[in-house]
Amino acid sequence: EETGEDENYEYGKGDFTEHACRYCGVQNPACVVRCNVPSCRKWFCNSRGNTSGSHIVNHLVRAKHKEVCLHKDSPLGETILECYNCGCRNVFLLGFISAKTESVVVLLCREPCLSVNALKDMNWDLSQWCPLIDDRCFLQWLVKIPSEQEQLRARQISAQQINKVEELWKTNPDATLEDLEKPGVDDEPQPVALKYEDAYQYQNVFAPLVKLEADYDKMMKESQSKDNVTIRWDIGLNKKRIAYFVFPKEDNELRLVPGDELRLRYSGDATHPAWQSVGHVIKLTAQEEVALELRASQGVPVDVNHGFSVDFVWKSTSFDRMQGAMKTFAVDETSVSGYIYHHLLGHEVEAQVVRNTLPRRFGAPGLPELNASQVFAVKSVLQKPISLIQGPPGTGKTVTSAAIVYHMAKQGQGQVLVCAPSNVAVDQLAEKISATGLKVVRLCAKSREAVSSPVEHLTLHYQVQHLDTSEKSELHKLQQLKDEQGELSSSDEKKYKALKRATEREISQSADVICCTCVGAGDPRLANFRFRQVLIDESTQATEPECLIPLVLGVKQVVLVGDHCQLGPVIMCKKAARAGLAQSLFERLVLLGVKPFRLQVQYRMHPSLSEFPSNSFYEGTLQNGVTINERQSSGIDFPWPVPNRPMFFYVQMGQEEISASGTSYLNRTEAANVEKIVTTFLRSGVVPSQIGVITPYEGQRAYIVNYMSRNGALRQQLYKEIEVASVDSFQGREKDYIILSCVRSNEHQGIGFLNDPRRLNVALTRARYGIVILGNPKVLSKQPLWNSLLTHYKEHECLVEGPLNNLKQSMVQFQKPKKIYN
C-alpha cells in the first residue's frame, strides 16, 4: 500500500513524555517526581501554579499517597526517597541531616530514627534536621521548581480542577484532565474563546469541534454511495487503469476534489466475478466526469460498462493532523516560540521586534515592482514575529507573499515553510516564489501525485523521479519494476522505500522553501524538519487547528495572509460552525487587536466595479491600479446601459422552484436570460474562457449548464466550455466577465446563501471587465447590504429590465431593509 507509511504515523506522539506532570504538563526531569504508590505511579512537578502547595505535594495530600521516586535524569538519578537508617519511605516524615564535619548528607525519618538516643553520639548533626517538604513544596534544591517560563507555558490548572481530577482517579486511574471537560453526547460543545489560559484549554475547546466536523464529514462522505454508475475505461500514461464516470452531487454535499479516494464495485454477473478496487480521483473533467486512477490494474472487468457502484473512502488524515498539532502545541514547548505561544493564546505580551538587517529593496527578482502599500507590508512584516496581511481582491497578495518569502529565505534562518489551505493557492505561490530564483520544493500528498499540477517540475515526487545521479538509478530501476509488475518482492520493496525516503529527504533539505497545504505540513516526510519562518496564504479560509499544523514545527516568525472580508473556512457540521470553528486564526488575531497591513491597490476590476466593494467592505480604501481605458473591452459590442459602466442589475421576476432532487432551487426564466447574455457576449467576440457564471445553488447550476447546451443559439461546444459554478469555487480567481444568477425570488423565504456579506463581496469582485447580476430586487432589497447594492445600481442608472437589445431603467420599488434577516 502506497499510503501505508502515512497511516502508521501517529501525529503529535513523539512529543509526549511519560514523566510530564499530570496536572500541568511540565516535563523537565529535574522538576518532577513520581508518586511511588504502585496503583498510581503518576508524575508531578514541584511548581505551585495557582495553588497553595506544589503539584506533587498537592497530589500526595489529596490522594493520601506518601512515597515518591526521583527521575533518572534528576541530579540524584532514579532514587526512591527513604530513611537512610530504617528505610521508611513516608515523605512526610523524611528530612536531611548532615555529617558534623563532612560534606555528606542523608535522609532520616523524624520518627523514630531522629529520636533514637544512640544516634546522638555519632557523627551526625541532628539539630539541623531539614524536612523534605517545606512550605508545602519539596526542597527546591532536591526537586527544582520549574522556571517562570516553563510555568507560564504549562497548563494553568486550578485547585478545583485538581480536586476533581483526584476524585476521578479514585475510580479511573487513567483519566485525564480532558475527561473532566468532555461534554455529554447531546451537549452543545464549548464555544471558541478569544483568549485561552494555556494550550491545554485551547486543545480542550478545539479538539471536540474538530472531532464533530470529522464525524460529520465521515458520515456524509460515506453516505454518498452511488449505484448504477456507468464507466468509461481508459489507461493512463503510467499504464494505470483509469475509470471515467459521472458522480452527481447535491447542494449540501461536498464536491469531490482530486486526491479523494473512491471505491469502485461490481457485484458480478454470469461471466464476471464480483470485483472491487480503490482509486484516487486524478481529475474532474469539464464534462463533469470524474477520472479515477485505480490502485490495482489486475482483474478489472473492462468489458463491462454498466451497473457499477461507487463509495467514498473516508480518510481521517487531515483531522488527525489537526489533533496532533494541538497536542504538540500543548506539550512540546519547542513547537512554537514563547512569544508566539502567548500571543496565539491571547496573553498580553510585550511587543517584540525581530532584529534583521532589512534589504535595501523590498521587491524581489522575477516579480513585478511593488506598490507603496505592498512595500510597506513587506518591510513591516520582516520586523515582526507575528503579522497579518489583508489582501482585498486583486491587490497582489501572491506577489507580496512571494517577496516576503524571498527576503526571509535570504536571512539565512533555515528553510521557509509556505502553506495555504488549498492546493491551487499553494501552486500559485510556489510558482511565484520559484520565479525569484529560490529553490522551491512543492510537497504534494501521496494521493495527489498523479494529479496534474501547473508546477509539476517543483513537486517533490517529480524531482525524485528526475534526479540524475548514479545512486538514483537504482531507485529508478526499482520504480520501473514496480510500475511494470504492480508490486515488488518484500526485500526490493524495503530497499525501494529506503532509497526513496533518503532521496526525498535529500531534495527537501536542499530547498530554500518548502510549499505545501496546511494539512500537508503534517506529512510524516516533514516530521524531522524545523521551520522558524512560516507564511500562510489564504489563511482566512483555514480553521485554527488547520493553521496550527504548519506552525508547530518550531515557528518564531509567522505571516498570515488573507482577507477576512471574503469567505472563511467551509465547516459542514452546523454544531461545530455555531461553536466558532468557522472563525479563522487571522480573524481572532484581528479581534485580539493585531492590525492587519492592508494592500490597497487593486489591479483586477474596472474602476466602476470596484467602487461598491471598496465602500461596503473596505471603508473606501481600495484604490484602482487599473484605469478605465485599460478595462475598456475594445471591439466588444455589448449593450451596457451606461457605456462607461460595464455593469447592470437585470431585474428578474420569474419564480423560483425546488429542483428535482428536492434539495435545491432553480429559476427557469433567470436561466434562460443567462443563456441570452452569454450568447450576446459570445456573439460580440468574447471567448468562453473569459466568461464565468456564478450561482449559489447546485440546482440552478445544473439547470443552466443543461439549458445552455440544449437551447443555446450557438455551437453547443462553446457553452460547454463556460465555467458555471458556486461563489465558493470562484474565490481566489477571476474572469473577464461575470454573470451572477441569484435565483431566490420568493418573498416569504430568505435569500439563503446570498445573505452572507462575505459571499457577496467575493461574487462582486471576480470580474475584470464587466458584471451582470440577475435577481429579484423586491426580495433582495429586504437585506440591508443588497438594498444598498441595488440603490447603487439604480443611482448609476444600471438597474434595468426588458429585452437585452432594448434595456430600460426599472422603476421597481425596493422594500425597507430589515435589521436582521435570514
By the criterion CB under 5 A, which residues form the site for Zn ion? 21, 23-24, 26, 35, 37, 40, 45, 55, 63, 65, 83, 85-86, 88, 109, 113
Q: Which long-range contacts (CB under 8 A, 24 or more apart) does 681-685 make?
A: 681/636, 681/638, 681/737, 682/714, 682/718, 683/714, 684/636, 684/637, 684/638, 685/635, 685/636, 685/637
Please provide residue 736's backbone torsions phi and psi, each rounded to the nearest 5 degrees. -70, -40
681 Cα distance to chain centroid: 39
Enclosing H/E stretch for 505: helix 490-509
Give least dist CB 52 to another protein, A: 4
The DSSP output letter for 154 is S
DSSP string, 369-380: PP-HHHHHHHHH
136 versus 710: smaller Cβ distance to another protein:
136
322 versus 340: smaller Cβ distance to another protein:
340
Q: Which does 40 bind (CB under 5 to 8 A by kind): another protein, Zn ion, none?
A: Zn ion
Strand partners, 390: 562, 598
101 versus 357: smaller Cβ distance to another protein:
101
Q: Which does 273 bind (CB under 5 to 8 A by kind): another protein, Zn ion, none?
A: none
Q: Which does 164 bind (CB under 5 to 8 A by kind): another protein, Zn ion, none?
A: none
Give least dist CB 134 to another protein, A: 10
Give least dist CB 78 to Zn ion, A: 17
Give least dist CB 386 to another protein, A: 12
Q: Which does 107 bind (CB under 5 to 8 A by kind): another protein, Zn ion, none?
A: another protein
Residues in the chain: 822
Q: Which does 50 bind (CB under 5 to 8 A by kind): Zn ion, another protein, none?
A: another protein
555 versus 743: smaller Cβ distance to another protein:
555
Give least dist CB 40 to Zn ion, A: 3
How far is Cα 363 from Cα 237, in angstroms, rounded to an integer? 41
Cell of 338: 514563547
Cell of 634: 475594445
Task: Return the SS3 of 722.
Answer: coil
Give least dist CB 558 to another protein, A: 14
Q: What angle do CA 776, 779, 783 make, to 5 degrees?
A: 120
How many CA atoms lie less than 13 Å away from 205 in the CB half-sphere? 19
Q: Which does 122 bind (CB under 5 to 8 A by kind): another protein, Zn ion, none?
A: another protein
97 versus 678: smaller Cβ distance to another protein:
97
Is the distance from CB of 239 to CB of 358 less than 8 angstroms?
no
Largest CA distance in the chain: 119
Please provide residue 623's backbone torsions phi and psi, each rounded to the nearest 5 degrees. -100, 160
DSSP string, 199-244: HHHHHHHHHHHHHHHHHHHHHHHHT--EEEE--EEEE-TTS-EEEE
60 versus 364: smaller Cβ distance to Zn ion:
60
If one counts every other C-beta atom within 10 angstroms of the C-beta of residue 230, the result is 11
List the one residue out of 532, 149, 558 whose CA is nearest residue 333: 149
101 versus 490: smaller Cβ distance to another protein:
101
For residue 260, what are the contacts with CB-CB under 8 A and spacing of at least 6?
Answer: 280, 281, 312, 447
Cell of 57: 505535594
Q: Which does 769 bind (CB under 5 to 8 A by kind): another protein, Zn ion, none?
A: none
Give least dist CB 96 to another protein, A: 6
Q: Which does 634 bind (CB under 5 to 8 A by kind): Zn ion, another protein, none?
A: none
85 versus 621: smaller Cβ distance to another protein:
85
Cell of 519: 494539512
Cell of 53: 502547595
83 versus 718: smaller Cβ distance to Zn ion:
83
Cell of 354: 525581530
Give least dist CB 147 to another protein, A: 12
Q: Which does 348 bind (CB under 5 to 8 A by kind): Zn ion, another protein, none?
A: another protein
How far is Cα 193 from Cα 621, in angstroms, rounded to an integer? 30
> Position 127: which residue type?
S
Give least dist CB 336 to another protein, A: 10
Q: Which does 24 bind (CB under 5 to 8 A by kind): Zn ion, another protein, none?
A: Zn ion
List the one residue out of 146, 189, 131, 157 whose CA is nearest residue 62: 157
Q: Which does 63 bind (CB under 5 to 8 A by kind): another protein, Zn ion, none?
A: Zn ion
List the one residue out of 178, 280, 264 whose CA is nearest residue 225: 264
Cell of 210: 474538530
Q: Given the C-alpha cell 557523627, which residue does it identify?
A: 123
Q: Which does 93 bind (CB under 5 to 8 A by kind): another protein, Zn ion, none?
A: another protein
Is the distance from CB of 198 to CB of 153 less than 8 angstroms?
yes
How far is Cα 525 from Cα 507, in angstroms, rounded to an integer? 12
Q: Which does 598 bind (CB under 5 to 8 A by kind): another protein, Zn ion, none?
A: none
Give least dist CB 87 to Zn ion, A: 7
Q: Which does 61 bind (CB under 5 to 8 A by kind): Zn ion, another protein, none?
A: another protein
Give least dist CB 205 to another protein, A: 20
In this structure, the strands spanning 241-246 and 289-294 are antiparallel
96 versus 603: smaller Cβ distance to another protein:
96
Q: Which does 37 bind (CB under 5 to 8 A by kind): another protein, Zn ion, none?
A: Zn ion
How far is Cα 302 from Cα 233, in angstroms, rounded to an integer? 6
How many CA atoms lie less than 13 Å away from 357 in the CB half-sphere? 5
Give least dist CB 547 to another protein, A: 21
275 versus 339: smaller Cβ distance to another protein:
339
Give least dist CB 72 to another protein, A: 8
110 versus 446: smaller Cβ distance to another protein:
110
Enclosing H/E stretch for 587: helix 585-591
60 versus 445: smaller Cβ distance to another protein:
60
Q: Which does 130 bind (CB under 5 to 8 A by kind): Zn ion, another protein, none?
A: another protein
Please provide residue 152's backbone torsions phi and psi, each rounded to the nearest 5 degrees. -70, -30
Give least dist CB 771 to Zn ion, A: 60
Distances (CA, A) of 677 to 719, 735, 737, 740: 12, 15, 11, 11
Give least dist CB 78 to another protein, A: 8
93 versus 404: smaller Cβ distance to another protein:
93
Give least dist CB 51 to another protein, A: 6
64 versus 816: smaller Cβ distance to another protein:
64
Give least dist CB 162 to another protein, A: 9
76 versus 687: smaller Cβ distance to another protein:
76
Q: Which does 104 bind (CB under 5 to 8 A by kind): another protein, Zn ion, none?
A: another protein
60 versus 430: smaller Cβ distance to another protein:
60
List the one residue out of 311, 302, 320, 323 whose CA is nearest residue 260: 311
Q: What angle do CA 224, 226, 227 make, to 5 degrees?
A: 155
